[in-house]
A = this chain, B = another copy of it.
Amino acid sequence: MPPSGIRRRPGGRSARVRATVLAAVDALLAEVGDEGLTLDAVAERSGVHRTTLYRRWGSVPMLLVDLLDAGTEDDWRAPDTGSLEGDLVAINREVHAALTAEPSVTAAVVAASFRSPEAGEALRRFWEDRYERCAAVVHRAVERGEVPPGTDPRRLLVAATGPLYHQRILLGGPLTREEADAHARAARAAAASGLL
């Protein structure tokens, strides 16, 4: 990229640098976890100079903040399998995969969120965005008559996914895919009975 390119397409180059750096952060989290995430490691991995990283992001927690905020700008959509049970099982399998990856980017980001208030707020923004997108699953289930109209989308989604996060992140226990499926089916059945 010649210097003239910077002048002609500052947004384009800036966006590419951001994408390159965030991809490096994501890869490092998946390989070494948040303990191994340093500005030097990100500079080496991304090929972007440490000074640039420092000037633009300032610190490792702010890199995580940007990674999480970038997640709220992606085109992820909740699964649409045709049934509430299918959708909840699909969501829980995504959560299961994220939580049981070794090392888990999700677990690394959660750990970082307890060390940096900014990272904590970014993680909550990211999750709020994901739960809002998942509400579509519950709206469709209400339209299909699978759950009563008063069903609270957030409460139902937290009933399905919350046990996975608790078991894996706070209790630090094993989590099988069968267990993730069971919690999805349990939440669906309770919601169908008007309990959520």
Contact = CB atoms under 8 A, between A and B. Distances in A.
Interface string A172-186: 100000010011011
A110 B189 contact: no
B115 A170 contact: no
A1 interface: no
A57 interface: no
Contact of A110 (B131, B170, B185, B196): B170
Interface stretch (A21-29, A64-72, A161-169): A161-169
Contact of A170 (B155, B169, B182, B186): B169
Contacts of A187: 186, 190
A17 interface: no
Could you say how many copies of this chain the assembly holds? 2
A170 B187 CA distance: 19
Interface in A23-52: none
A193 interface: yes
A76 interface: no
Interface in A121-165: 124, 127-128, 131, 155, 158-159, 161-165
Considering residues A169, A185, A190, which has the most beta carbons from chain B within 10 angstroms of its beta carbon? A190
Contacts of A191: 186
Contacts of A162: 162-167
A195 interface: yes
Nearest to A193: B189
Interface of A: 110-111, 114-115, 120, 124, 127-128, 131, 155, 158-159, 161-167, 169-172, 179, 182-183, 185-187, 189-191, 193, 195-196
17 contacts: A110-B170, A111-B114, A127-B171, A159-B183, A162-B162, A162-B164, A162-B166, A162-B167, A163-B166, A166-B166, A169-B170, A170-B170, A186-B187, A186-B196, A187-B190, A189-B189, A189-B190
